[in-house]
Every structure is written in C-alpha cells, then in structure tokens.
Amino acid sequence: MRTVLAGDLGGTKCRFALISADFGVHGVQHVPTVRERGPFLAALERAIETILSAVPAGLERPTAAGFGTAGVIPRDGRSIEVAPNLPLDGFPLAQHVEARFGLRTTLLNDGRASAWGEFLRGHAAGRDPLLCLFFGTGIGIGLIVDGKPFAGATNAAGEIGHTTFRPGGRRCPCGGLGHFEAYCGGRAITERALAEIGPPPATAASAPSATGWTVGAVVRAAATPGPGQAAAQAILAEAEAAACALVANACTLLNPGAVVLGGGVLSGWPLLQERIVAHVPTATSRPIHRDLQFVPTLGGSDAILWGAAAATCSLWSAG
Ligand SMILES: [Zn+2]
C-alpha cells in the first residue's frame, strides 16, 4: 500500500508519521519545538530517520512528504515565509528534506492541512464549504471550497487571527497591535497569565508551557478564590469576547455549511466552545446561521497529518 511521510509542525511540539492510503497513521514520532534552528532540525531529521527505518510490512516506502505548519507558506510550498512559532523563518524546509531523504516535499499551512483532514475524514466530511478554526498556540483557520483548501492570490488567505480586535491594543506574536490572536491565542493567554498573575500555582502546572501556565490552569485560577482570581477572570473574559467575535466574523464573511472548532485552548477550556456556539446566532444574520452546524473536531494532529499527506497529491489523487 502507498504511503506518504507526514508532519505536523506545531508551536510547542511536532508530530511525524507514515500515512497509508487507507488513512492509517503509523510509526508516530514526537519532537519538542525548540527555539534554536540547529537542534530543531537535528531532532526533526532523527524522527524522519526513525520512521523510514521501520516501515511496517505491507506498506511501501514513501516517496513524498507533506508537512503542515503554522505560518505563511509561499504558493510553491517550499519554505515557511513567516513562522511566528517555529525557528524556520524563511528556511527552505522542503529542499532540506528532499536533499536529506530524497522525499518530494510539500509544505502547507497547518490550519489548511487540518481543514483538509477534517473534510476527508472527520465528522464534517464532505460538507462544502467547510470552515475550521483552531485555537491553539496561535489561531489556525482552514476553509475548504470545492474539496480543496482556499489559498488566496498569494497563498496567504484566512489569517483571521491577525485581523484587528482592538485597534492599538495588545502586541500580537506577529508584531501587530490588537490582533485577535493577542487575546484568544493560547500563547497570548498563558503569557498574559505569567505577566499579570505571576508563576502558576505548583499544582496547576501539569503540562508546563514556556510560561509554566496552561490555558486549563488559567481557567482553574479564575475559579479559585485567591490573589490571581480577578486577573485570570479578566484575561478569560477578554479571550472569550475575542474568540466569539472572531468566529461570528468568519461565519459572516465566508457563509460556511459547517464549522469545526478545535485546538488546545478549547480542550483546556471547554466552556469557551459552548459560549462561541451560543454567540454566533446572536451576531450573524439569519441566512448565515439558519442551517449552520458546529461539528466536533477529529482532535487535531491526525487531521493535520492527513491534510499534509493530501497536499502531496500522491495518496488520494487520481494521478
Ligand atoms: Zn498578529
């Protein structure tokens, strides 16, 4: 059976696997995302080597690779032009992987990869247009139109997290001011908690991020009487306002048939999803919300791997 090597390059961790034509996910390898390029690439190469050295019986060795990654990818899918959460700004990653492993390599924005995976295999399979919004370290968006991710003129469409929520407001990881991501992105929420509350309670730091905080820990701090409670509540109130406005804006702009919501912010803070679903009908016109369905996500990383594999056009394409 044919296979593709697929990767999900995330802001805190990366995941690599062999994807088979029956959507099987084999030989998963995890790599923490470190901020220095050299060690990061070395770990990435070790993960790929491990997968290629242990292709399961019955599966062909892959000839192509697809990586979903945060950031803006030029239309040729060869490099990451802007990589706010990875040490790969401007780096020709596709060329690097091809030279090292002989795998024809395609890069795809991870929001789009996720959306494609959801469209191929998820609860929203076949719903077109399909809008996927992922509240992770940053905010990923993917819009599927006519069975494929919508790219825009220069492959930069959909970065709604970097549109303005509060003019002149908080500094976004991208450098802009007042963007949605600076309020409801996971990195922004946890950095804000560190700055405004201080280090997290020891018992709350079950999966420390760079700040020691997780979104779940901020949610617990907001529910726990103490010196950090008011600040945590204020951070979450602003994050909720931003997330609700963002989803309603996206629905009005794009008129999707279904919306998939996902990402680590929502899994750490499930109430936010309920608030968003309740908010959208109050903030959009009837033709937008009348038949709109919110569909559960597949759970993230596998969808990114399937979408990244689809982007290589060698597993599920006719050719
Ligand atoms: Zn931004």
pLDDT by position in tens, the chain (length 319):
999 999 999 888 999 999 999 999 999 999 999 999 999 999 999 999 999 999 999 999 999 999 998 778 888 888 888 887 789 998 999 999 999 999 999 999 888 898 999 999 988 888 999 999 999 888 988 999 998 899 888 888 888 999 999 999 999 988 999 999 999 999 999 999 999 999 988 754 455 567 789 999 999 999 999 999 999 999 999 999 999 999 999 999 999 999 999 989 999 999 999 999 999 999 999 999 999 999 988 866 788 999 999 998 777 764 4
Please list the residues that pair with 293 across neighbouring strands: 258
- Considering the domain boundaries, does residue 89 fall inside one? yes
Quote the ligand 1 centre to 178 CA distance (angstroms): 8
Which CATH number belongs to the domain containing residue 248 in this structure? 3.30.420.40
Q: Please check whether residues 78 and 127 belong to one and the same domain.
A: no
Instruction: Determine the pLDDT at residue 75.
Output: 84
Q: Please check whether residues 89 and 230 belong to one and the same domain.
A: no
Quote the ligand 1 centre to 305 CA distance (angstroms): 25
C-alpha 157/C-alpha 2 separation (Å) is 31
- Considering the domain boundaries, does residue 160 fall inside one? yes
Quote the ligand 1 centre to 214 CA distance (angstroms): 20
Q: Please check whether residues 8 and 55 belong to one and the same domain.
A: yes
C-alpha 113/C-alpha 91 separation (Å) is 20
**pLDDT tens digits, one per residue of 4-39:** 999 999 888 999 999 999 999 999 999 999 999 999
Task: Look up the domain containing 256 and give its range.
Answer: 123-296
- Considering the domain boundaries, does residue 317 fall inside one? no
Quote the ligand 1 centre to 138 CA distance (angstroms): 9
Residue 250 class from Cβ within 10 Å (0-12 exposed, 13-18 middle, 19+ buried)?
buried
**Residue 169 CB neighbour total at 10 angstroms:** 17
Q: Please check whether residues 138 and 71 belong to one and the same domain.
A: no
- Considering the domain boundaries, does residue 98 fall inside one? yes
Q: Please check whether residues 77 and 152 belong to one and the same domain.
A: no
Q: Please check whether residues 150 and 21 belong to one and the same domain.
A: no
Q: In what order do the strands lie in the sheet with 25-32?
A: 25-32, 13-20, 3-9, 64-69, 104-109
Q: Please check whether residues 46 and 193 belong to one and the same domain.
A: no
Q: Please check whether residues 220 and 158 belong to one and the same domain.
A: yes
Q: Please check whether residues 199 and 159 belong to one and the same domain.
A: yes
Global model pTM greater than 0.75: yes
- Considering the domain boundaries, does residue 285 fall inside one? yes
4 contact partners, CB below 8 Å, separation of at least 6: 18, 19, 62, 64, 65, 66, 308, 309, 312, 314, 315
Quote the ligand 1 centre to 110 CA distance (angstroms): 16
Ligand 1 is an ion; its neighbours by CB within 5 Å are: 162, 172, 174, 176, 179
Which helix (H) or strand (E) segment holds residue 260: the answer is strand 258-262
Quote the ligand 1 centre to 121 CA distance (angstroms): 30
Q: Please check whether residues 144 and 104 belong to one and the same domain.
A: no
Question: What DSSP designation does 60 have?
Answer: P
Q: Please check whether residues 105 and 133 belong to one and the same domain.
A: no
Please list the residues that pair with 82 across neighbouring strands: 72
Quote the ligand 1 centre to 275 CA distance (angstroms): 23
Number of structural domains found in the chain: 2
- Considering the domain boundaries, does residue 318 fall inside one? no
Quote the ligand 1 centre to 187 CA distance (angstroms): 12
Q: Please check whether residues 101 and 177 belong to one and the same domain.
A: no
Cα-Cα end-to-end distance for the chain: 15
- Considering the domain boundaries, does residue 316 fall inside one? no
The residue among 4, 1, 6 whose CA lies nearest residue 304 is: 6
